[in-house]
Structures are given as structure tokens and as C-alpha cells.
Amino acid sequence: NSEHSHWAVDRAIETCALSEGQITGNHVYAARLHDVRFRQLETGLPAQFQSAEEIKRQRKIHDKLIEKGLQLISDSFLDQTSKACDKAGVNLTRQLLEGIHYEEVIREANAGHGRLPSLIGFDPNIADKYDGGDTVRSDVAIGGDGRIIAEDEEHDEKLAGSSGRKYDLMVIGAHGIGKQPYSQLGGMVARVIRGVEKDTLIVRDDKSLAGGNWIVCVDGSSYSYKAMRLALEMARDFGAKLHVCSAFDVEYHHAVFGNIKDILSVQASKVFKFEEQEELHNNIIDKGLLKLAQANLKRAQVMADEFPDVEVETQILVGKPF
């Protein structure tokens, strides 16, 4: 429900409205964390709360307040997404996942294996009908001393399975509610992008994709040209301009040779032929890297020629590629 999350929803709607796609809106909540902690604390309750009847009553209250409460809050977040999708005429599937947020997002995005909750009832698309009813956790076990025995519950017992959906694109905001003043990327998002195997759009502001200026980085790899192809297709549809760049570092070899020069003895320098080696690298490596960057951009330009409606500008950047 953060500002960046709302922007991500807007970009997802913008993309799906143009491509006739559909959105699965996910929110992850961690009721299991509260449930595990509650079980750990049960054995330390005062004697008057140690009866089986009282523990079952406490468990039911906890399930209602925590599990149902978290589901209702989570579903309220999805209400905002639903209103935006209805306004734009984009189909939305509402989905709640239970577990550690970044783990479940990765599982769901990659293979549709996010954990769908089932402890108090489950409907994958109409979470506002969730109701705990009489559903409670397992019966209370009492030891010989009359006090309850610490229990654990199989996580799978609380799950309804997974969606099995196959996604084409994941859209996520760059930050959440806990954004820090000088942070460039939220902690949850940073974890997610390390594990997600699908194309990912990270949204940092409220700017529309239409008519934008987009940068494409090519380094000669197959992945960079896949990105170039996708950027061309999207730029054509959104009326955007592409700035294609290739970067190389001319200072690295100079720094390495400067470091070697300081440690070589006079005799070693003669054997190594330091000055000749340095001149060779200056002529071949540096100039070769420039020609390689130019070749990368030439290939990208050839691809761009297939999209005459897309404005493309190329440039070579000198320095650390990142």
C-alpha cells in the first residue's frame, strides 16, 4: 500500500491495457510468524490459562484477530488495485499469499508456487468472504503435570496449494512503506530481483511509460540484444524514444600497468619488456575495446532499422560500465 506500490499498479495497468493482458494482484502476509510465536509462548502462560478449554479459547481468539485480521487488511490493500483496474477495464485476479514476503513473491513469479493460505477458509479471488467460523488449530495436548505440551503444526496443513500460474512480467515498486531517506532500492525488492527469473519492471516514480525516454544498455551478450528487441517493441507501442549505449573502461589496464611498474625490479622489467607491453595494450586493448563498443551499437542499430517508427540515439560511454 506504499506510494511506489500504487505507481507499480498504474504501470501494470498501462501495459495490460495496451496489450490486452491481465493482472494478478498479490499481497503477502505473515500470519505463520504470529502463529509460531503464539505457540512458543503458550507453555509460559500462568496456571489459570493452562487448561485445555482455556487454551483452545485463546487459540480461537488469536486465530480470529491475527489470521482473519491480516487477511482483511491485505484484502483492503487489493481493493485499491481492484478499483484502479475496474476504471481502466483491465481484468484483475486478487490473490493473497502467506509466508515471508520476498520468498513468496519469488516462488509465485517464477512458477506460480506461492503459498495460498487455508487456515480459516480460502477463496483465491474473493478474499472478503474469508471467515474463520469454528475452524481452530489442533486439539490441546496436556502433560502429566497438568500443563500444556508445546506443539508445532505442519505448515502444509495451513495451505490450500498454489496457483500454478505462468507470468510474463512482474511489476513491483522500488520501495515499500519503510523507505529510507537515501536508499536506492528497498530491501524486499533487492532480495526479490536476485531470485526472480521473469522479466521485471521496477517502478521508481509516477511517470507514464508513454512518450518516455528509455535507456538500453548493450554489451554484446545475447541477453542485451533480447532487451534491445523488447525495448524496440515496447517503444513502438508506447511512442517512446530509445537511447542505446555501450560502455567500456579504458582506465583499468592503465591502473594495472601502473601497479606492476611499481613492484617490478629493473631486471624483471627487462624480461617483461614493460614499456613494450604497455604500448601494445594501449594500441590494441584500448582501441580494440572502442571498436567492440562501436560494433555492439552497430548491431543494435541494425535491429532498430526494423522499427522505423522508433526514434533511436546511440552513444558510447567511457568508464566503469555500471
Lowest mean pLDDT among 139-143, 162-166, 209-213: 139-143
Q: What is the pLDDT of residue 41?
A: 72
Cα 64 to Cα 81: distance, rounded to the nearest angstrom:
25
Strand order in the sheet with 213-217: 213-217, 241-248, 312-318
* pLDDT at residue 105 tops 90: yes
Q: What is the pLDDT of residue 268?
A: 65
Lowest mean pLDDT among 187-196, 219-228, 278-287: 278-287
Coil vs helix vs strand at 203: strand
State pTM to two decimals.
0.76
Superfamily in which the 3-203 domain is placed by CATH: HUPs (3.40.50.620)
243-259: buried (b, 16+ CB within 10 Å) or exposed (e) per residue? ebbbbbbeeebeeebee
Q: Which residue has the higher pLDDT, 209 or 286?
A: 209
Highest mean pLDDT among 39-48, 55-64, 98-107: 98-107
CATH of domain 213-318: 3.40.50.620
Q: What is the mean pLDDT of residues 138-164?
A: 59
Coil vs helix vs strand at 39: helix
* pLDDT at residue 135 tops 50: no
DSSP state letter for 150: P
List phi, psi (to 5°) of 213.
-110, 115
Residue 59: pLDDT band by 50, 70, 90 thresholds? confident
Burial class (CB in 10 A: 0-12, 13-18, 19+), 146: exposed
Burial class (CB in 10 A: 0-12, 13-18, 19+), 8: buried
Q: Which sequence spans correspond to the domains of the chain?
A: 3-203, 213-318
With CA atoms as reference, report the closest residue to 252 among 285, 280, 284. Answer: 285
* pLDDT at residue 56 tops 60: yes
Q: What is the pLDDT of residue 128?
A: 41
Burial class (CB in 10 A: 0-12, 13-18, 19+), 280: exposed
Same fold, 3-203 and 213-318: yes
Model confidence pLDDT, tens digit, residues 70-94 = 777 877 888 999 999 999 999 999 9
* pLDDT at residue 269 tops 70: no
Q: What is the pLDDT of residue 127?
A: 40
Q: Which residue has the higher pLDDT, 152 or 43?
A: 43
Position of cell 560511454?
A: 317
